[in-house]
Amino acid sequence: MFNLWLAFRSIKSKKNFNLTAIFSILGLSLGVASLVVSMVILTSYFGTLKKTVIDIYGHINMVRNLTYLPDKKIEDDIPEDLRKDILHITPFLNASAVSVHNGKMSAVFIQGFDPVTVNKVLNLKSRSVKGDPPFSGKDYSQDENPPIWVGKRLAEKFNLKVGENLNLVVPTNNALENFDPKVQQFNVKGTLSFGRYDYDLRYLITNVKALKEFADLKDRNFGYRIKIKDSELAPEFSKKFNQSLGSEKYWASSWRSINSNLFAAVDFEKWIIFFVMMIIIVVASFNVASTLFVNVLRQFKDIAVLKSLGLPAHQIKRVFLLQGMIIGLVGYTLGLILGFSLCYGFVFAQEKWNILNSKVYKLESLTLSYEVFDLFVIAVVCLLICFLATLVPAAKGGHLEPMKGFGYE
C-alpha cells in the first residue's frame, strides 16, 4: 500500500503530471479506443447478423426430404436424448414464386408459418416496419384475399402500399407432367425489415395454410424451425440431429451454417484485427515508457533521498511499475469511454448515412453489443504491455546509486 501511495503521489505531482504524461495517457487511450471500437463493432456485427438469422430461421432449420412423408409428428422422429433441450418447434413451408405488381415482376421466396407456434420460435413481429406485425393474433379469415407481409425493399421496388393486393404466380404440375402457372392475389398487411438487404428484396411471409392452398402443397410441411435452450449449441445439435435422424428423413442446419462463411470470416477477422490494433497499444506503450524514463530522470534526487532513508531497490522498482500500471489503468478507462462513445457515434452515422453498405455487408442497421471477455482481454493486454514497457525505467530507478542522485554536491 505504501508503494502504491508513493506511486500515486508521484504521478499526480506537478513535476510529473505534465503534458508529456498527458500525451502518453492520451496515446494509450487512443490505442485502447481503437481496439474497443474494432471489437465492439465486430461483435455487434456478428450479434446483429446472428439475431437477424435467428429471428427468421430460429436456432435450427430442419428441412424434410421430399420423399419422406411421415404419418406422425416431427417430435416423434426426434431421439429422446435431444428432445430435452428443445424448447419449441414450428412448421414452415417454402415456395418460390414470381410477384407481379404495377407492371413490374420479381422472383420471390414465400415462407408460410403456423400462426399458433411461430412466435415461440421466431421473432418476425419485431421485424415489422409498416402495417400489422405478422402473426399478431389478428384474424384475416374473412378477408377476400389471404394476408401477406413483404420485405421493405420489395415494397419500395413495387411501390407497394399496405392494404394493396399483390399478384403471385407459382408453377403447379398438371397431369401431363408439364407446369401450369397458378396466380393468386394476396393482400399486403405490412412490410418487414429482415435486417438483410437480400432478404428484404426477396422474402414474403404468409401463413402456412394459405401457402399450402396456393402452391397446391396439400399436407406437406417442408420443414421445421426449432428453438433450443442455448443458441450457441445449435451447430452441435444440428450435427447430432443429422447423425441420429439420417439424411433420408431430414437435413438440419444451425443458424451459424445459414451464413457459415460470413460468421467464420467475422470470427477470424476479429482476432486478426485484435492483433493489428494491439500494435497501436504497443506503440503507445513506448510513450508510457519514455514518460516514465523522464520521470526517473526528474526524480533522481528523490530516489536518492528515499534510498538514503532505507527504501530498497526492489521497492523503488515497484513504485515505478505501479506508476506504469496506474497510467495503463487510466489510459484503459479513458480508452473504454472514448471507444464506446465512438461506437455509439458510428451506429448513429450508420443509421443516418449507411456507412456500412447494406448491399455488401448484408445488414441494414447495427445493434451495439460487446463481450465482457473482449474488454477483459483488452485490459489485460493493455496493462501487460504497460508493465513490460515500464520494466526498463523501473530497473533504472531501482539501480540508481544514491550518490549519483545527489550529484556529489
Alpha-carbon distance of 113 to 221, in angstroms, equals 10
> Could you say whether residue 301 binds other proteins (CB under 8 A)?
yes
Distances (CA, A) of 187 to 78, 163, 191, 278: 37, 6, 12, 54
Cell of residue 111, nine digits: 415462407
Q: What angle do CA 185, 188, 189 make, to 5 degrees?
A: 140
Distances (CA, A) of 72 to 68, 77, 213: 11, 8, 21
| CB of residue 354 to other proteins, shortest distance in Å | 53
Comparing CA positions, the residue from 149, 150, 147 lying closest to residue 214 is 147
Instruction: Answer yes or no: are the C-beta atoms of 65 and 249 closer than 8 Å.
Output: yes
| CB of residue 310 to other proteins, shortest distance in Å | 2
Task: Choose between 137 and 407: whose C-beta lies nearer to other proteins.
Answer: 407
| DSSP character string of 161-182 | -TT-EEEEEEEEE-TTS-EEEE
Among 102, 308, 354, 357, binds other proteins (CB under 8 A): 308
| CB of residue 16 to other proteins, shortest distance in Å | 9
Residues 253-292: x where in contact with other proteins by CB under 8 A, - otherwise, as a string: ----------------------------------------
Q: At what angle do helices 2-12 and 313-353 cross, to 10 degrees?
A: 60
Comparing CA positions, the residue from 217, 215, 221 lying closest to residue 90 is 221
> Could you say whether residue 10 binds other proteins (CB under 8 A)?
yes
Among 71, 81, 248, 409, binds other proteins (CB under 8 A): 409
Which residues have CB under 8 Å from 232's CB, separation 6+?
A: none
Site for other proteins in 310-339 (CB under 8 A): 310-315
Task: Choose between 245 and 303: whose C-beta lies nearer to other proteins.
Answer: 303
| CB of residue 392 to other proteins, shortest distance in Å | 19
Task: Choose between 41 and 319: whose C-beta lies nearer to other proteins.
Answer: 319
> Could you say whether residue 306 binds other proteins (CB under 8 A)?
yes
Among 15, 73, 83, 161, binds other proteins (CB under 8 A): 15
> Could you say whether residue 302 binds other proteins (CB under 8 A)?
yes
What is the contact surface with other proteins in residues (CB under 8 A)? 2, 9-10, 13, 15, 301-302, 304-315, 401-403, 406, 408-409
